[in-house]
Amino acid sequence: MTGIEEIRKILRDLGIGEESLRDDARLRADLALDSVDLTQIQIELEDRFATHVDLWTAHDLTLGQLADAVGEPVPGAGAAREYRDRGWWRPEFLDDLVLGTGVHDGNRAALVGGGRTFTRAGLGAAVSGCAAGLSRSGVRPGENVLVQLPNRIQLVVLVLALIRLGARPVLALPSLREHELDTVLTALAPTALAVPARHRRFDHLGLAERLRERHPSVRTLLVTGATGPADGQVRIDDLTAAADPAPAEPAPAEPAAVDPAPSRAGVVEAVRSPSDTALFLLSSGTTGPPKPIARSHEALGHLVRVSAAASELTPESVFLAVLPATHAFAFCHPGILGTLAGGGKVVLAAPDDAVEAMALIERERVTHCALTPALARQWLTARAAAGTRDLSSLRVLQVGGARLDESTAAELADVFACRIQQVYGMSEGQLNFTRLDDPPEVAFTTQGRPASPGDEILVVDGEGRPVEDGEAGELLVRGPGVVTAYHGDVGAASFTADGFYRTGDLVRRHPSGNLVVAGRLKDVINRGGEKIPADELEALVLSHPGVRAAAAVAMPHRVLGEAVCLYVVGGDEGAAAPSLREIRTFLEGRGLARFKLPERLVEVPALPLTAVGKTDKAGLRADIAARVEAEA
């Protein structure tokens, strides 16, 4: 609906006849609207256009002038009031929700990692101290700061400190490289980059230096693990270790809608509002490199609360974070933030050491852990090697990010003697969980139902019409935790005009009411939970001089579920296509994240086409699946 149509609808609802609703009709002189009507119109306009027009002081506007003043309706703007009225969006800040100062016992352990343990009070003090240090280092409220750190205590402290300061952390997977980060830096112009000096044999500091040269917005590099920081570098270890000597401040008695911004422990805070962006996540995307997803305090706070409830997190819970903590599943769905908000303890570990994870479960009495199916399969192998370790504290294994098959789910439940909770969600903010009291056949074969009572779910066919119950269709979602646009309005095709997010996933409803993920419309390869948009990879492969055409498709993989198979047509004059090795080296040289590199390459004389002349990806997927099966 355009602006003027929306205004006509508001007036029609007030009882104004259709014949009067001309563009040049004046509100007071021609339509005889009284003061009560004008107030009502102002409220409706604020809801639908997220803008305020003062109809009292303005001269008598015509419909056309009013439409010019308000612009286009903002999808979801009207919903915000309902979300607040229903208590789904609350006037609280994410750092206050998570640190819950005064709500839980400050002497309880809250965060464990790298041989250190922070109590709740210690964590609160470290966050305040870090915020003060960031402030002294020149980080200002409203600035964006890219955070690309592995699962360490410093990551949690730094992100909460940035939020407290009113600066906006941008959470990036440590596996992202120049190709992806260039796009993110261009979109968000961060003033600082937080990186490890080195991580997994990769020189992150070197990459950060190169990015700083290309992106003038970047003033400061915040570094962990560096010995002698150079100019323009700040040691995160100093910021996070030197907890401010001032004790953790008491929680405000009643969270205010607008923080009056007293200086906490020496931090000059911005005047913050719960509707402000608290942090940015990055979409794993349907097309192209990652897109920024702005998460407000109130929307993310809602997701943290409802997902923690669905996971039955309590003050006794101990969450083991093994998935990369800069991804939403481990960070805030409910993960680290949900556990801390509930008063529980978070244990940080590296993703690829399942044996170490078992040792941590025993030592820290872990109750909850979130895994991808690929990691879950590694855990099954590691369990045998872990021998007699006591894992009896484990209550819930959450598995998501990719589809978990029924037999692995049943085996996990049996081997780990705990509940299996399937999680189907997305960084865009719609989260489904099987519930812990779902019977095993439901928990093992479905991907859950919305955690938020406010979520609207549509399952539609290619024309956008709802399908019959039980049939597969694309999932469209809208709700208090779901974004209605990407930051900067990129990727607008991912949202409908009325603010639903098009997931690109095919789902059907199970008789239990839960959703089953039945497939995918989007051209993405889901490599063990890490997503690879095919178009992004193909565009880079095509820039190789020895390649005339390329198509990336998912190939079945025993452990990862899916891996990338690249079909290529060689260069001109019958020249052979580059080898898999050459292509991988080439792509890495172009700064592509390593998890996106193809695992297999098949040279073909031409790519097969569908009847309408598109690359026949379904045919290629069937081809590689048949080859893999024949080889097995």
Q: Which residues lie near ligand AMP (CB under 6 A)? A: 284, 328, 400-403, 422-427, 447, 503, 505, 517, 520, 531
Which residue, 359 or 559, has its beta carbon nearer to ligand AMP? 559
Q: How many CB atoms lie within 10 A of CB 238?
A: 12
Nearer to ligand AMP, 259 or 428 (CB): 428
| Alpha-carbon gap, residue 165 to 142, rounded angstroms | 9
CB of 355 to ligand AMP, least distance (A): 25
CB of 295 to ligand AMP, least distance (A): 12
Shortest Cβ 594–ligand AMP spacing (Å): 17
CA distance 430 to 452: 8
Of the two residues 167 and 507, which places its CB atom closer to ligand AMP in the complex? 507
In sequence order, the 6+-apart residues with CB closer than 8 A to the CB of 301 are 89, 90, 92, 93, 94, 97, 274
Q: How far is the CB of 501 from ligand AMP (least distance, A)?
A: 9
Closest of 617, 596, 627 to residue 551, by C-alpha: 617
Question: Is residue 118 a contact partner of residue 110, using CB atoms and an 8 Å limit?
Answer: yes
Closer CB to ligand AMP, 199 or 403, in the complex: 403
Give the H or E element holding residue 415: helix 406-416
Tokens of 74: 């903002």
Q: How far is the CB of 303 from ligand AMP (least distance, A)?
A: 12
Q: Is 112 helix (H, G, I), strand (E, B) or coil?
A: strand
Phi, psi of 57 (to 5 degrees): -95, -25
CA 483 from chain centre, in angstroms, equals 10
Query: Please, are residues 457 and 473 in contact by the beta-carbon 8 Å criterion?
Result: no
Distances (CA, A) of 208 to 143, 184, 215: 18, 13, 10
Between 139 and 423, name the residue whose CB sits nearer to ligand AMP: 423
Q: Shortest Cβ contact with ligand AMP: which residue?
A: 284
Burial 27-62 (b: 16+ CB within 10 A, else e): beeebebeeebeeebeebbbbbbbeebebeeeeebb
Residue 98, CA distances (Å) to 108, 124, 270, 280, 304 in order = 14, 10, 19, 17, 9
Which of 316, 405 has the CB closer to ligand AMP? 405
By beta-carbon proximity to ligand AMP, the closer residue of 166 and 429 is 429
Is the CB of 151 or the CB of 284 nearer to ligand AMP?
Answer: 284
Closest approach, Cβ 360 to ligand AMP, in A, equals 24
At 343, the amino acid letter reads: G
Closest approach, Cβ 399 to ligand AMP, in A, equals: 7
CA 183 – CA 421 distance, rounded (Å): 35
Tell me if 361 sits within 8 A of 289, measured CB to CB: no
Beta carbons of 537 and 592 less than 8 angstroms apart? yes
Nearest distance in Å: CB 528, ligand AMP: 11
From its phi and psi, is residue 133 left (phi > 0), alpha (psi between -120 and 50) or beta? alpha
- Closer CB to ligand AMP, 157 or 323, in the complex: 323
Cβ closer to ligand AMP: 403 or 617? 403
Residue with tokens 């809602």: 302
> 133 vs 400, which CB is nearer to ligand AMP?
400
> Can you read off the two tokens belonging to residue 105?
């016992």
> Phi and psi for 56 in degrees, rounded to 5?
-85, -40
Q: Give the residue with the Cβ less far from ligand AMP, 121 or 431.
A: 431
Give the nearer residue to ligand AMP in terms of CB position, either 11 or 375.
375
- Least separation in angstroms between residue 74's CB and ligand AMP is 24
Output the smallest distance, CB 485 to ligand AMP, in A.
16
> Do 316 and 81 touch, CB atoms closer than 8 A?
no
| Residue 491 dihedral angles phi and psi, to the nearest 5° | 60, 40
CB of 426 vs ligand AMP, minimal distance in Å: 4
Nearer to ligand AMP, 224 or 526 (CB): 526
Question: Position 41: which residue type?
Answer: I
Smallest distance from ligand AMP to CB 123, Å: 26
Rounded to the nearest whole angstrom, what is the least distance from the CB of residue 3 to ligand AMP in the complex? 32
- DSSP per-residue letters across 347-367: EE--TT-HHHHHHHHHHHT--
Smallest distance, ligand AMP to C-beta of residue 543, A: 26
